[in-house]
Amino acid sequence: KGNSFEKVTGRTLNEWLAEMIQADSTEESLSKLEPEQVIEEYFVALDKKDAKTAGYCLSKKTLLGNLTSNMPNEELFNEGVGLPLTDSGVGAPSNFDNLKSVKLLKAELIDEPDNSTKIFRVTMDIQYHEDRLISSGEQFWDCSMVYESPQTGWKIEGFGH
């Protein structure tokens, strides 16, 4: 049994990644936003079918996890980044093949476990071409936000119930 990343490096993954990342202009502008504003940017990007901006709103840890999750057995890693709440199928040509539209209605802070983590109850109206794993309509999800570093700011770690 091996040691954890934190035990080996003496830092969390976010702390370690902060030294590795050179922020570009999009990352820099997002790094100045409050968590609620990052959530809003994510939903605007989803509605505009802007995968690049949506990806910038996700934590590096989430992006790394998406490299090898929900993929065909014959692949070594996912070519694209899976975007939460798009409900695209495995191997879909685009993250947006099933997403018709999405509108953020409200983001309300419900928990703050520590200084670098905040949980928001996010209410949205989301419409899909076909209801698969997620149904169309008004709904809420809990959005976990993490403060990665001064260079990258607040990021979405994931959505759940």
Domain assignments of the chain as residue spans, ordered by start: 23-160
Cβ atoms 57, 146 nearer than 8 A: no
Instruction: Supply the pLDDT for residue 39.
Output: 99
In the chain, count H helices and then E strands: 6, 4
Instruction: Supply the pLDDT for residue 85.
Output: 93
Q: Which CATH number fits domain 23-160: 3.40.50.2300, 3.30.70.260, 3.10.450.100, 3.40.1350.10?
A: 3.10.450.100
Alpha-carbon distances, residue 116 vs 79, 91, 104, 154 (angstroms): 30, 34, 23, 8
Kindly report, residue by residue over 83-101, the tens digit of the pLDDT: 889 988 766 778 899 999 9
Q: Can you list the residues of the chain whose pLDDT is less than 70?
A: 1, 14, 17-22, 66-81, 90-91
Instruction: Supply the pLDDT for residue 122.
Output: 99
Mean pLDDT of the chain: 87
Tokens standing for 112?
């703050």
The pTM assigned to this predicted structure is 0.84
Q: How many residues comprise the chain?
A: 161
